[in-house]
Each structure stands twice: as C-alpha cells, then as structure tokens.
Structure 1
C-alpha cells in the first residue's frame, strides 16, 4: 500500500511539474520584449541587405518595410516589375534605405540562376521566404482543384522549391560570416491535417520541417532560422478580411512576429495566433474533419468572396462616377 501511495504521489508531482513548466514557457509568450529582447542594431549587425520574396504586397511587403525601418537595405522580389518599382519607391522614400527589385515568377522552373547572379555581390544578413500561393481561393477537395496537374507544379515550385533554392543561394554567405537570419513563412493550418487545404497545408508542413531541421544543422554557425505560421492576416490570399483581435493587418503581424524571432524554431507570430494554434490542436480531428464542419467552412469562404466581389464592383462604379 505504501508503494502504491508513493507511486501515485510521484506521478501527481511529475504531472504538476510538467504542466507547471509548460505554463511558465507559455507565459513567456505574453511578454516577448522581456524574454526575447532584440538590440537596436540586431538586424544591421547581421549584414547590409535583407531579401524578401513575395514582397509586392501583404506580409512580404510589411517585412520589407519593417527591415528597412531597422536600417537594412532591401531586395524585394515578386512577379510584376511595375508594382515592385512602386513599392521600392515607397520604401526608399519613407526609410531612406536602398531598395533593389528583382521581378521573377517563382511558379516557373528555372529562375534561380538569374536570381543568384543578381544577389552575388550583396552582404545579405536576412532572408524572408514569404512567397506562396493557394491552389484555389475557395477551399476544395484535392481532385476538385481546377487544372490539377498545373496547380500541383505551381504550388510545389512556389511554396516549396523557392524556399529551398533561396536558402541554397544565401545560406553559404551566412555560414562564411558566422551570422544571419532566415524567416520562412508557413501557415497556421499546417498545425493539423487540413482537408480542403490539403496541398497547401502539406506544402507549409514542409516549410516548417525544413526550417526546423536547417536550424538544428546551422545554429552552431550563428544563424537563426525560424518558421512563422500565421493564422488570420488581412491579405489578398485571405480575401482582405476586416482586421480584429484575431485577423491582424500585415504590418501589425510582422511587428509582432519580429518580437518572437528568438523564441524558437517555430512561432505563430502573435499571442492571439499562439492561442489559436493551441485551441486548434486541442479539438479532436473527428470534429474538425466532420463533413458538416468542412461544408460550413466552404460556404463561409464562398460568402466572403461574394461580398468582396460586390464591394469591389461598388467601389469601381463609385470611382467611375
């Protein structure tokens, strides 16, 4: 009897210690500036230049602005040169930093030799792999995706291959200097198997695992590599949803996420998204994967897309008048 009592007392104590430690670790996320402080010269100490892919709008654009405001020159990369030039003018005019543009389409196969040539003489201290595409704005089952073969190639090229290739181009310079930061943008839906987002979610799981493995390989070289997995951010990919406590503007999200840069090899980027991630992983998959839940999600997105289309048409009509 004494041994049984001792066993349960020991077990209870171990459980209390375990959850106490988890609570302490979680509490650090409430005060990132206190637990994960960055010096004013942190980014500029990494190098002269930051490279941001998919930076003509949304999260990528916000990262480019934020890093320029920290005193870094920036290379911005996206498909449309005219848009890139406009963003470059805004960044340089606001921050006074040098901005270089590279117009490229990451859904294509052979774009990286040209990118490497244009980056070869730059002292690159920060890389943000942000570029990514959704197979479809309306959540749908894998086989119901339009032009499935082309979509598979585009998603893998843009969401997976571009990140790996950009790391291959820039990581050697960082290892030679013994310092650097790589931020790879994943997604909150990669936290669990996500029906209707199967291809996209799987590509973002790759982003996380690649980032975490790469960090383990190169952390002793003085290089910080982190996957950032946002949930709701008001971007074109998310249908420009209204901002609130959960859906953040790109600027607010990036500002928050940079505070968690030294919080580990993966972060959700903000306290509200950290809580969302915990809640999502706490719900049984049988509930989340129920056909009725998936149908509600699909109908909700369709409704939001219709509302956005009506809003855009109304705005266009008003501008013409």
Structure 2
C-alpha cells in the first residue's frame, strides 16, 4: 500500500487526551491476544491526560482525522522513552509509525536527550523488525518484554585544531577498552588532529602522528586506562588486507582508531562509532589559493570543520554522547 500523503505530526496536548486514548485502545485492541495481555487497552482519557501534562506525546493527523499517536516517558535521565506507539488499525503499513518515530527523534534532540528507549513484545516479530530497521538495538529485557534503544547521532562544528582536539578529549572520557572508532573524511579534514586529542585524553604514550607508511601504531597507556591502536587504512585495498594486521588480537584491551576505515573496518565490530570530518572552506589571503590538502601539515590548519558522530550497536545505547560532545 502506498504511504499516506500530507501527514501532520503534531504535539499531543492535554486537550487531545480523549482522541489519543481512543487510538491507543483501538490499535492495541486489534492485535492478536498476548499472554500476559497488554495494559494499553485500559488507558483512559484521564490516564493519557496525566502523561500529556507531564511528558507529552505526539498525534498524527491527515486532514483533521487522527491516524496515530504515542506517549513520551521522561523517567530516565538523558533519555526519552516512547510508550503506546499506536496506529489506527484501518490504515496500518502506510507510513504513520515511521513519521511519528522521525518526529520523536527530533523531539529528543530538542529536549537535549542522548537517546531513546522503548519496550517491544517479543511475540510481535513484525514490530521487532520495524524497530531494527530504524537502527534500534536490543538492550535488555527478558521473556516477552524486550527493551530496545538508540543513541542519537550528532554533528559538532570545530573552528580550530584546538577545538578538534578538545572534542576528542571529551570523547576519550566515554571510551573503554574494546571500543572501535572509524574515521572518514578528505585529506586535511582533521582525522589525525582528532586522534592526537584522543590520545591526550586517554593518556597514552606519544607522539601520535599519521601512521600512513607504518599502517598501524600501538600507543601503550601511561596510567590504568586502555591503550590506543592507531591505524591508517589509506593504502589498504581491501578488508582482507586490514585483516592481515591482526587487529582482533589487540581490540579487546585497546581503543582502536582506524582512519580511512569506512567500508573496511566495520567488520571488526558491530559496536563502533563512525566519525566523519568535513572541512568548511574558509576565506584565505593566499593569492595562490593553496588548499589545506596541498600542504604538508594540512591536518593542523585552523579551518572550520564539521564532525559528525554516528553510533552503531548496543554498546552506545545510554551513553551520553550528545550531552558530552555538544557541551
């Protein structure tokens, strides 16, 4: 079935309580019987109004007709919970739930949250797949009630090399042995500069320089934290060549950073951070117009960058990436 057009996803206010409660009851009531049964069918206008007054929710309409709704839960610090995700049973599989999830993630960002959590019934495999397709991962739960979560991606501008290194030091405080960071971006975009800040934050033996010709360098810890394995995959032609470095042997006890690793290093771990570095062209007094990528120490020039951080895997669910890196 084709998706519905002109969907309006709006904030559900207390005056919408009766409409939202009706959608929830009809949506959950149309599901097959579960054991134990869902309590969603017992929602009332009063119970929904109480949630909307404290945490809020969303309502989907098309030409004034209610199509779907969900309730928010702010009981967990730094996270936004989604409850009673409901779609009118007469219009299932028409994009209503996807539209709500997209706006819910935007709402989490606006409220300064790091991520989202929700519960899913194990007996509903189509619902489980719906959330998995949207990069939500299972984080816990037993029996029939599974917990899923997602840490939100973020983008941060750094205006100088010092800013880039400061961002890395902030991230270092969240890292532990076994973490994998995959760095991508053009020449001179700031990948090595970032790794230098990361090494400083991890307190490992330096100096940290681009390992292009050595391919991989190990920097042991100076204190009790993990070491740093710094890999430059620029000259590697395939994932098999990366395999030959035997990084698996050191992955568990170190933080591993792979520059130019996109499309190669993902095989190392399903739990990873992907950091993309993009240079923003700055005005230059250089009459020759020499670009950063044409200089010997391009990575150290003070030019604005945008660093995009995208988490993958259950490791990062619940980790305060946004609040830490955005300050």
Shared topology, TM-score over 0.5? no
Compute the TM-score of the two structures, normalised by the length of structure 1: 0.31
Compute the TM-score of the two structures, normalised by the length of structure 2: 0.30
Bigger Rg, which one: 2
Query: Larger strand proportion, structure 1 or 2?
Result: 2
